[in-house]
């Protein structure tokens, strides 16, 4: 990892710059700059406001629903929904919970989680029916989680408006499979390093 700086400064909003530490997966040697919004209420509040501003520039109308996956983007999605006065949003769960009603499972892949099973309730799919939907993640990197989102959206008739993320990583995504990607900034992806 000697070729890469131990920290990468990235501007999230006009008044928020953070240093992302370089980490390496001990099992694979894969290196990346760690962006973790969990527990950072200030980051979520500021980035949600900026993302909504940018979404408004790209979309004809505000989204009617948000979908995210466990767990790092849940607080961000909460802020996005709160700002638009949505009473609800959909979270793809990484395990089946006993309280879930008529859950549906499917497989997905993520740079941080690897091969992963996701669960969604039928009532959540029913909620999305006919709505203008935005998919939310903290980072869009290899596109694994984005493909998982598309599997879910394929189960319901709705209008997918955009992917919304704080950062793109590796590939500077502006669209994914024809769907606009709205982000705040871009970071490099070191990958397998010396």
Q: Is residue 179 part of a domain?
A: yes
Overall number of domains in the chain: 1
* pLDDT averaged over every residue in the chain: 91
What's the rounded Cα separation, in Å, for the pair 166 and 50?
9
Tell me: pLDDT of 1 over 50. no
pLDDT value of position 114 = 63
Query: What is the extent of the structural domain holding 60?
Result: 37-186
Q: Is residue 192 part of a domain?
A: no
Q: Is residue 181 part of a domain?
A: yes
Average pLDDT over residues 81-107: 91
- State pLDDT tens for residues 110-141: 555 567 788 899 999 999 999 999 999 999 98
pTM above 0.85, yes or no: yes
More confident residue, 28 or 134: 134
More confident residue, 108 or 138: 138
If we measure between CA atoms, which residue out of 1, 3, 2, 12 comes closest to residue 187?
12
Give the rounded percent of residues in the chain with a pLDDT score beyond 70: 94
pLDDT value of position 147 = 86
Give the rounded percent of residues in the chain with a pLDDT score beyond 90: 69
What's the rounded Cα separation, in Å, for the pair 59 and 57?
6
pLDDT value of position 52 = 97
Q: CB–CB of 129/162 below 8 Å?
A: no
Q: Is residue 30 part of a domain?
A: no
Confidence label for 149 from pLDDT (cuts 50, 70 and 90): confident
pLDDT value of position 109 = 63
- State pLDDT tens for residues 63-80: 999 999 988 999 999 999
Average pLDDT over residues 162-183: 95
Q: Is residue 25 part of a domain?
A: no
pLDDT value of position 193 = 64
Q: CB–CB of 182/58 below 8 Å?
A: yes
What's the rounded Cα separation, in Å, for the pair 71 and 8?
23
pLDDT value of position 36 = 95
Q: Is residue 178 part of a domain?
A: yes
Concatenated DSSP letters of 27-60: TT-EEEE----TT-HHHHHHHHHHHHHHHHHH-S
Q: Is residue 163 part of a domain?
A: yes
CATH number at residue 177: 3.40.50.2020
Q: Is residue 123 part of a domain?
A: yes
- State pLDDT tens for residues 47-56: 999 999 999 9
């Amino acid at each position: 990892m000697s070729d890469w700086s131990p920290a990468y400064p990235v501007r999230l909003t006009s008044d928020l710059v953070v240093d992302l530490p370089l980490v390496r997966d001990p099992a694979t040697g894969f290196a990346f700059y760690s962006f973790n919004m969990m527990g950072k209420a200030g980051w979520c509040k500021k980035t949600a406001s900026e993302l909504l501003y940018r979404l408004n520039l790209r979309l004809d109308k505000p989204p009617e629903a948000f979908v995210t996956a466990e767990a790092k983007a849940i607080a961000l999605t909460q802020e996005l929904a709160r700002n638009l006065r949505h009473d609800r949003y959909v979270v793809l769960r990484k395990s089946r919970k006993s309280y879930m009603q008529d859950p549906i499972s499917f497989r997905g892949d993520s740079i941080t989680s690897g091969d992963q099973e996701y669960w969604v309730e039928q009532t959540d799919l029913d909620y999305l029916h006919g709505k203008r939907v935005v998919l939310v993640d903290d980072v869009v990197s290899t596109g694994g989680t984005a493909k998982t989102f598309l599997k879910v959206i394929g189960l319901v008739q709705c209008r997918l408006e955009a992917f919304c993320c704080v950062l793109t990583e590796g590939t500077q995504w502006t669209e994914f499979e024809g769907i606009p990607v709205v982000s705040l900034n871009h970071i490099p992806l070191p990958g397998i390093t010396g």
